[in-house]
């Protein structure tokens, strides 16, 4: 399944649903965007930090390219990925740990 995204002048925007305190980390493509399982709790930004780390690892893009634009304290987030034009060359490769 292709990852739904919106193109902007800076890069792209993804919709992400996070599931903090999961038993395993993982990413799933859903019709709305991505569902990301995090082992970190939603406390003091730990889940947001882990989200950026997981997305960076999965997409093979540096962490500094990711910005949480909306939903800092919500399970539903809007994440900006700066410096890429589209998702055609991006393939998720994520090893569950």
Question: Which pLDDT tens digit goes with each residue over 37-80?
Answer: 999 999 999 999 999 999 999 888 899 999 999 999 999 999 99
User: Is the predicted pLDDT of residue 97 greater than 50, yes or no?
Assistant: no
Rounded Cα distance between 62 and 69, Å, is 17
Q: Tally the domains of the chain.
A: 1
Q: DSSP letter at 32?
A: T
- Specify which residues 16 forms β-bridges with: 34, 77
Domain region containing 32: 6-82
CATH number at residue 24: 3.30.1200.10
Rounded Cα distance between 56 and 44, Å, is 20
Average pLDDT, the chain: 89
Assess if residue 44 is contained within a domain.
Answer: yes
């Amino acid at each position: 399944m292709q990852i739904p995204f919106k193109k902007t002048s800076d890069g792209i925007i993804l919709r992400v649903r996070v599931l903090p305190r999961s038993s395993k980390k993982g990413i799933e493509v859903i019709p709305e965007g991505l569902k990301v399982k995090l082992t970190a709790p939603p406390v003091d930004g730990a889940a947001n930090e882990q989200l950026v780390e997981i997305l960076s690892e999965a997409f093979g893009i540096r962490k500094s390219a990711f910005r949480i634009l909306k939903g800092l304290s919500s399970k539903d987030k809007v994440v900006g990925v700066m410096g890429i034009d589209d998702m055609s060359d991006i393939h998720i490769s994520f090893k569950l740990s």
